[in-house]
Amino acid sequence: MTFKIPALQLERARQATRLLKAIEMNAIDIYRRAIKRTFADLYGVAPDEVDVSWSKDGDNITVRCANKTFTHETIHDDDDSTLEFVSNHEEPVTVRLNDEECRRLERTDLDRLNGF
């Protein structure tokens, strides 16, 4: 026996799947989005032109944007919602999570504590 799923139902299922994936961002995704947004706004480039990478051991974050390189040492984090990136040749750049990102980060932390 085969079932036919109307195209509208199939499209709604796809939209729901995309929405769930967007909601299920992990902490790195949340920080990456905030970092890209901040540097893109500051240097007038598209967010996809901002390169964000974490070191293997997770001790620092490196950002490359507009031919400039900045780093943030994660081992000195006292405030999860604010990150300061430094460079040898530029003024420091402060990245602040917006309210939505802070709420998502809190949910991510709660999910991790609850074993999800």
Q: What is the pLDDT of residues 40-53, one digit of tens each?
A: 999 999 999 999 99
What pLDDT sits at residue 116?
A: 41
Residue with tokens 């709604």: 12
Q: What is the pLDDT of residues 99-114, one digit of tens each?
A: 998 888 887 765 554 4
Residue pair 87/69 in contact by the 8 Å Cβ criterion:
yes
Q: What is the pLDDT of residues 14-61, one digit of tens each?
A: 776 665 555 556 888 999 999 999 999 999 999 999 999 999 888 899
What pLDDT sits at residue 27?
A: 83
Closest C-alpha among 57, 96, 89 to residue 73? 57
